Structure 1
Amino acid sequence: MTAALATSAPAEPPGGRTLLDREFRAVLAQVPAIRSDVRARLREEASIPAATADDALAVLGELIANSCLHAAGSTVRVLVALIEDIGILTGVVHDDGPGSITLPCPRTRQSPDREGGFGLGIVTALADTCGARRTRHGKEVYFALHLNDRAVPDTRA
């Protein structure tokens, strides 16, 4: 399923339960540590299917790395929330940098030798919805994943 990039939808519907709220320096070397925190927190939640947790981790990893690489800010804040009554996991990556609020189109044709440039394609392919908006102190990119849409059928005999 492919998400369209939007610029005005809310990142977290009312009624969500915050699973993670962490701020860190906008340095690429911080990305593995925050991914580890997110992974651990998602695994603690029995109501989040493993496939959804994997998708959330991939999307957050891309958004965090993009923020550290391109935003020119000093801090990045990551929020993950679960809205159990409607079965949605949301994530927000906020940075205080002046970078563009207009998200570029994901690149579709790449040189096989090129490293990187696939991040937004991964985000739009995995997220049910995603977008970006300017905030008072920077910008944020958000996404939502429906919990039940990622169930993997058991093919064991």
Structure 2
Amino acid sequence: MERPDRPATRSTQWHPGDRGVTSVITGVLEAAVYAEDLEAARGFYTGMLDLPEIAAVEGRHVFFRCGESVLLVFRAAASRQPPGPDALPVPPHGAEGAGHVCLRVAKEHLDPLATRLESAGVAIESDFRWPHGPRSIYVRDPAGNSVEFAAGELWGLDG
């Protein structure tokens, strides 16, 4: 929608072959998955994966430090509620069904991580190499979210 008080903006529709402009976006600060049982999520992400818990609200969410990013785990029903009058104006959100997140792991740590997961009874759903070489390991968290582990080389981020 054009506004007369602002100059026209370029289309946001992407077409194959389009090249982007230099973006001010420097990375993904946080990513969210949804789980009904936050204690099970806490056990998996902190207990199994050693991610430090950095914030929690009972029955609503638990957040974990993940390198330079944050992994947010919400109860969908709770996060869909509008904020109360004394709360920050964070818009409601939520999703149903299995989500996906890929956690970056140095490639030399993929084998030990797979061994640790299997030793703890976490089933490896898939472990393969992409056509261009990088490896991905997939498991399910207790809520059924697809959790992938891969080195940054998957997306050309490691040298």
TM-score range, shorter chain: under 0.3
Please give the TM-score of this superposition, normalised by the length of structure 2: 0.27
Greater RCO (Cα-Cα under 8 Å, separation 6 or more):
1
Please give the TM-score of this superposition, normalised by the length of structure 1: 0.27
Q: Which structure has the highest helix share of the two? A: 1
